[in-house]
Amino acid sequence: VTVRERLAAPGPHFSVEFMPPRDDAEEAALWLAIRRLEPLRPAFVSVTYGAGGSRRDRTIRITERIAAETTLLPVAHLTAVGHSVAELRQVIGSYAAVGVRNILALRGDPPGDPTADWVAHPDGLHYAGELVALARSLGDFSVGVAAFPETHPRSPDAESDLRHFVAKMAAGADYAVTQMLFSAGDWVRLRDRAAAAGVGAPILPGIMPVTSLARLRRICELSGQRLPGDLADRLAAVDGDAAAGRAVGMEHAVEMARELLAEGAPGLHFYTFNRSKATLDVLAALDWAGPVPAAALSSTTTSGLLPGG
């Protein structure tokens, strides 16, 4: 099964992102999250690709374990940064060898200081679109890409960023996943601009409840997004009260998810940081249908995961 096929079934879908764990304790937490989310049948679960050899090997190992030991469909992220084309071919080959046929193709940021100048490997690729084409040339992979509703921080302007996004999709991407969103309107604008430029493939909005002002500031600093004023004000009003901050973050995420679904979002992609609770709470608040029999899922008339009333 590929993500392409999963997303072609009636939606809306939900999907989650995990990170390769750094030690045994983190790995145990990840597996707990996986086991708790598994019964809700996400369309796919993606595993990020870190900088440095050992983190990278862990991405391969975790995606392999998810494919072998769970009913979930793993998507392996892959970044072009720091790799020769020969190495990228080899990593894609390792994914294929363990049965992982779904790849999220990214350019990656410079390791260490993500704001440093981006320098291509002398025998490597320059842009994610080239990695999409490489993966597609190596076999029957379903490939996804990243999308930036607020424009990628390295882009000189929104027009060129959209043009490159459209080209990246045309290189063979089946779907895109956005950076963490704070407003449904940002997703609607990207979807509409992409559609006007001929992109019909699903663009999945990225969601994570943010539960403190400090965390929100840090996320925006790292991603180059503007600080969302309304959420920042709501979090500032409860600063120092962890439980109240959590309630604000959840409320904001649920409101945004409702708006996204009402606007026709094909799914919701949750940034989990390897925990299940926030995702499960948002889905519960949306009355997302619970576990369904596998037979219902294989039917073409229902995804089995329609948000109920």
Backbone angles phi, psi at 256, to 5 degrees: -65, -40
Under a CB-based contact definition with an 8 Å cutoff, are residues 180 and 219 in contact? yes
Cα 191 to Cα 10, 150, 223, distances in angstroms:
18, 12, 20
Q: Which is nearer to ligand FAD, 31 or 127 (CB)?
A: 127
The residues binding ligand FAD (CB under 6 A) are 48-49, 77, 79, 106-109, 127-129, 146, 152, 154-155, 161, 164, 168, 177, 179, 206
224 exposed, middle or buried (CB, 10 Å; 0-12, 13-18, 19+)? middle
Q: Which is nearer to ligand FAD, 50 or 249 (CB)?
A: 50
Q: Which is nearer to ligand FAD, 2 or 223 (CB)?
A: 223
Q: Is-catalytic flag, 27?
A: no
Nearest approach in angstroms of CB 230 to ligand FAD is 22
Under a CB-based contact definition with an 8 Å cutoff, are residues 62 and 94 in contact? no
Nearest approach in angstroms of CB 286 to ligand FAD is 21
Nearest approach in angstroms of CB 127 to ligand FAD is 4
Nearest approach in angstroms of CB 17 to ligand FAD is 7
**CA–CA distance, 141 with 132 (Å, rounded to integer):** 9
Pair of tokens at residue 242: 């962890």
| Of 5, 17, 87, 255, catalytic | 17
Pair of tokens at residue 190: 């990207």
Nearest approach in angstroms of CB 181 to ligand FAD is 10
Helices (H), ranges, the chain: 3-8, 24-37, 53-69, 85-97, 128-138, 158-170, 184-196, 213-223, 229-236, 242-262, 277-285, 294-298
Provide the residue type at 163 as one letter. Answer: R
Positions marked catalytic: 17
